[in-house]
Amino acid sequence: MAQAKTTRRPRAKPGVKRERILEVAIDLFGRYGYEDAKWADVASAVEIGPTALYHYFESKQHCLYEIMGQTVADFQARFDRITAAHADDWNEALVELLVDAFNLTEQEVLRNRVLMAEQGLIGIHRTAPREEAAREIARTRTRDLEFAWGTFLARGMQQGHLPENDPQLLARALLGLSNSVWHWYRPGGTLELEDVARFFVGRQLALLGCPPDLADAKLAAA
């Protein structure tokens, strides 16, 4: 009697599985909050045992720091791309940067929610080696992004586009205004992200001392 052949499910490559864990963690942390989201639910969603998660991440908090570091790295990549594309037009770069901050997928919105909700943890030293390494990367990237924005705003002042001010404080105020959205905005809620963008970009321009209609054309086209 011939034996029935068993079909084995192809094994996902480690890098692919790790990215899937991050995607699920972003979704659960973003929707339910980091503290309330269960690490075991992440394992269940990616179809591995809870202990197998530790092959990819030292802990739930290690995973959180990786999400935070990747989120800030993405902010920096978008910043670099836009400022390079509009190197000869500071105002155009500014408008593009402000509008682009709201040009997000639902997954990116949830990722921002995770970063903003747990940002205070970036400043707390960890004793577990991989947690601490991921935390330090997220912390350094956050500082680098603030510095890049401060340098960009200082250039705007030098070129006469902005009133003279402390560029680093102004950068923190500007980023803080847009980042505050991710504490309360919910995808699929009563407000469309495009409407939120129109409101907040106008306030950011006012904070900078720029004409409030500077971004109207870009927002209309978004």
Q: Judge whether residue 106 has pLDDT over 50.
A: yes
The average pLDDT across 204-217 equals 88
- Banded pLDDT at 98 (limits 50, 70, 90): very high
Enter the tokens of residue 3.
């034996």
Q: Judge whether residue 219 has pLDDT over 90.
A: no
In eight-state DSSP terms, residue 1 is -
Neighbours of 133 (CB within 10 A): 16
Share of the chain above pLDDT 90, in %: 85
Neighbours of 71 (CB within 10 A): 21
How many CA atoms, within 13 angstroms, populate the side-chain half-sphere of residue 184?
7
Enter the tokens of residue 65.
């720091």
CA distances from 165 to 85, 147, 173 (A): 26, 15, 12
User: What does pLDDT average to over the chain?
Assistant: 92
The average pLDDT across 130-148 equals 97
CA distance 214 to 97: 13
In eight-state DSSP terms, residue 12 is P
The answer to whether the beta carbons of residues 173 and 149 sit under 8 Å apart is no
Longest CA–CA span in the chain (Å) reads 87
Least confident of 39-43, 152-156, 212-216, 218-222: 218-222
CA distance 53 to 65: 15
The answer to whether the beta carbons of residues 30 and 110 sit under 8 Å apart is yes
**pLDDT (tens digit per residue) in 177-190:** 999 999 999 988 89
Enter the tokens of residue 159.
């070129």
Q: What domains sit in the chain, N to C, each tagged with a CATH number?
A: 61-221 (1.10.357.10)
Task: Give the global pTM.
Answer: 0.89
CA distance 70 to 68: 5
